[in-house]
Structure 1
Amino acid sequence: MKKVSLSFLVAGAIFMSGNGLSVDAAGTGDNSKFTADIKSSSQKRMEQEKEKDFKQWKETKSAKVGVFAIPGGTYRAISVPSFKQETSYWCGPATTKQVLHYLNGSSSSQSTYASGLGTTTAGTDFSKIDDYLNSKQSKNNYIYSSGNSYSTWSDRIDYSLSKSVPAPVVLDLEIYPSYMPKYTTHIAGHILNVSGEDSRNSPVQIRLTDPYDQGSRGVTLGNVWHPHKGVYDANMDHFRQAILW
């Protein structure tokens, strides 16, 4: 796995194209300053309960279909609305709006969420988003998890999408066109959510609800399918390697 220094990410984040969109090593609003996700005692209990339920779900699934992370022929999609980020550094607030609108049926403005998340021109601290989402809805207790194996990562997404009340998983990505070809340049940091998976054909695909329209091409914005393993690689290339599920 490629290592990228924080100094390189910060340096890249200040390089902007003439149209105001981030290019090369720039991000779309993911703050490159690392902040550890510190859980309170109640959050630790919530995490233990969710991990227990996740383990039971995996055991039930394995008994039916074996050890495959996504059984062949699986198709799941949830109707997460797309909201284009209103600034070049609001991927966090826009993704928060997408998730809350799906879970609650309505949402506030991106500026409201930017204020609540403490978003600045440097972007949004990803480690704050789970607590904020949990304070604004009661249908899913979001947990911050990092460094997942491909199998565990796939299972966490499959688990979240297959629940009686599905929940969009939130990802923190470093994107390369070699992993996600619909992107044409390197994006050092980007926050967005999952809204589907499809293993009916090979390679397996994953649908992302993306608030960023790279290059104003209308190709990356909205509910867009990408290579499943490519999105995992993009998550692992990011220095946080984190998901909210």
Structure 2
Amino acid sequence: MRRLRTVVVAALAASALITAPAVALAQGENAVDVTSMAPPAKVEGVKAAAELNIQYQIQETGYWCGPAATRIAISAKNGNPPSQQQLANELPTTTNGTDWIGQVTRVLNNHVAGGWYETKEMPNDPPTQAQRDLLWRDIVLDVDKGYAIVANIVAPANNHPPGYPNYTIYHYFTIIGYNSDNMTVKIADPANFGGNQIYWLTFNQLATLIPPKGYSA
């Protein structure tokens, strides 16, 4: 069991599946450059790749990405996870979404034995090399031990996962696998944008999506 360490910070914008055309980046702007980023530090003594078995569900409302992503993560360890409605009540989630990743951490630890989850903030945009190293290490070690990770992301129009509409998306999704040979991560995305439910992202792109939010790992 890891010691639970939560860093409390001032709330940023409500973090759920919220569309914000007013803050979308212009279509003509250049995409985020991830080619120059150094690879994260290698994690020794783990498999080259691993994936978790989970129960996938599409989020039941436009603002329940937090409860849905949390349920997916719980299902990796608990074969009878709570409903999205119950988790929305516990987080709590409102029509404005789920405010902070720390709420997800608390609920995960209520439903997954061992108090494993911690809140990890990534306030720097772009993230520092130390933050990238920690994110990769958390993904590899968590997935190897059977724990899925919930990430709170901000995806502007020039840096989207597959199928996302062309404006800034505030969202939660679940990380359920990794492949260190090609530095990719497997995502279970409750939004189902364009029918994209479970897909692979490069680690570099994931690392640009989380700031200035955080993740539960």
Q: Same fold by TM (over 0.5)?
A: yes
**Shorter-chain TM-score range:** 0.7 to 0.9
Match in the other structure for 2:152: 172
Amino acid corresponding to residue 148 of structure 2 in structure 1:
P
CA distance in 2 between partners of 1:180 and 1:70 (Å): 31
Q: Which structure 2 residue ranges, 5 or more long, are not aligned?
A: 1-11, 24-40, 123-129
Match in the other structure for 2:52: 78
Match in the other structure for 1:243: 215
RMSD of aligned alpha carbons? 2.7
Q: Quick check: 1:218 aligned with 2:177?
A: no
Report 1 or 2 for greater relative contact order, CA contacts < 8 Å, sequence distance ≥ 6: 2
1:93 pairs, out of 23, 47, 67, with: 67
Match in the other structure for 1:135: 110
Residues 12-56 of structure 1 show CA distances to partners (whole Å, capped at 9, x for unaligned) of: x87xxxxxxx46368xxxxxxxxxxxxxxxxxxxxxxxxxxxxxx
Q: How is 1:16-35 mapped onto 2 (pairs within 5 angstroms)?
A: 22=19, 24=21
Contact 1:103 1:139 in 2 (8 A): no
Contact 1:194 1:207 in 2 (8 A): yes
CA distance in 2 between partners of 1:101 and 1:25 (Å): 36
Q: How is 1:51-200 mapped onto 2 (pairs within 5 angstroms)?
A: 67-69=41-43, 74-125=48-99, 126-139=101-114, 141-147=116-122, 149-163=131-145, 166-176=146-156, 178-182=158-162, 183-200=164-181
Residues 155-197 of structure 1 show CA distances to partners (whole Å, capped at 9, x for unaligned) of: 111111122xx10011110113544451342333111111011
Match in the other structure for 1:206: 185
Contact 1:83 1:94 in 2 (8 A): yes
Q: How is 1:29-44 mapped onto 2 (pairs within 5 angstroms)?
A: none
Equivalent pairs counted in the alignment come to 178
Contact 2:153 2:210 in 1 (8 A): yes
Contact 2:74 2:148 in 1 (8 A): no
Give the match's secondary structure for 1:79: coil
Amino acid corresponding to residue 154 of structure 1 in structure 2:
W
CA distance in 2 between partners of 1:121 and 1:181 (Å): 24
Contact 1:25 1:188 in 2 (8 A): no
- Structure 1's consecutive aligned runs of 4 or more residues displaced over 4 angstroms after TM superposition are none
Q: Which structure 1 residue ranges, 5 or more long, are not aligned?
A: 1-5, 15-21, 27-66
Higher helix share: 1
Shift, 1:89, TM fit: 0.3
CA distance change for structure 1 residues 198 and 180 in 2, over 3 Å: closer, same or farther? farther
Residues 199-224 of structure 1 show CA distances to partners (whole Å, capped at 9, x for unaligned) of: 333xx21111110022xx202x2x21
Bigger radius of gyration: 1
CA distance change for structure 1 residues 225 and 70 in 2, over 3 Å: closer, same or farther? farther
- TM-score (ref. length: structure 2): 0.72
Match in the other structure for 1:60: none
